[in-house]
Amino acid sequence: MNAPNSVTIYTERIHQTVDYISGHLSDEIDLEKLAAVACFSPFHFHRIFSALLGETPHNYIERLRMERAANEIATKRNLNLYEIAYGCGFNTKSSFSRAFKKYHGVAPSQFLQRHEADFHSQNVMGSRKPPQNRRSDFDAVEIMRLPSFHVAYTQTLEGYETGIAKAWNELFIQMHRKGLQPCEGPLIGIPYDNPGITPGEKCRYRACINVPREVVLSRGGLKTADLEEALYAVYHFKGTREEVADAYSFIFGEWLIQSNYLPDEKPLIELYPATLLSDCSQNRLQYDIALPIVNMP
């Protein structure tokens, strides 16, 4: 048996399942359906998923729903509790509130009040620090409609601290193996999770690069996807690595709540110049953090 190829197959199937779960959190998700997505029997799927991710499919789904709920309470303050509960797969507010309090330790109505000051300032190591004042950065935010992107990507489920560098390294290795040349445009990172809520070692990240639209990859360690044209609040960040958490605190905790916009359902993206990855050890950073937005009704 070819061991590296075997590992790739198992990893790919679990990634397919993770992507499916992320897109169907408001639906009923049963073990049989997830096993079918991964092309395993339910018995084997449960064991493989648990072994690779360190939590059962049920616990993984519950965690993602509670993390989504916490993020929506903090960023979508126009939503009522039932809308948040329904979007996270609960049919009643009472069942949602019980699950939320069990996971987060406080009722949904108390969550924002308790964590508003530090919700977006937790760094990837899991420690909290008071956010720095970045009010002068309001002028660094530009409302832009970004075009659609057709990208090749690799994905990591092991957190930002070590996973981001591994994802980019694997992306370039896979591109070279397949003889693919990127198109012009920025390098794109998609940090799916908020490390203020999601355990740092479980944050999901995609490393993306623009490729010709005729390139379509649906299997293997390198896949393609389309990012739709959308309206973004683009924060032109300049600062040190230590200030990245403060930058996110500013975007969500100051800029967003004082704007006339709401966050869109699309993922936040980071747009990097090629020079940022040419020297991963540099401490001074300059790149764009693009938050998808929609007009407030």
CATH of the domain at 96: 1.10.10.60
pLDDT on residue 134: 57
Report the number of distinct structural domains present in the chain. 2
**154 and 75 together in one domain:** no
pLDDT on residue 126: 40
pLDDT on residue 150: 97
pLDDT on residue 99: 93
Tokens describing residue 46:
């449960």
**257 and 150 together in one domain:** yes
- Which residues in the chain show pLDDT less than 70? 1-6, 114-135, 277-281
pLDDT on residue 280: 60
**153 and 82 together in one domain:** no
pLDDT on residue 229: 95
Q: Full-prediction pTM beyond 0.75? A: yes
**214 and 90 together in one domain:** no
**266 and 149 together in one domain:** yes
**40 and 151 together in one domain:** no
Task: Say if CB 17 and CB 40 are below 8 A apart.
Answer: no
**79 and 176 together in one domain:** no
**164 and 245 together in one domain:** yes
pLDDT on residue 127: 40
pLDDT on residue 122: 41
**187 and 101 together in one domain:** no
Query: Which residues constitute the domain of residue 31?
Result: 3-115
pLDDT on residue 11: 85
pLDDT on residue 129: 47
**152 and 290 together in one domain:** yes
pLDDT on residue 277: 66
Whether 43 maps to a domain, the answer reads: yes
**79 and 157 together in one domain:** no
pLDDT on residue 5: 65
**176 and 210 together in one domain:** yes
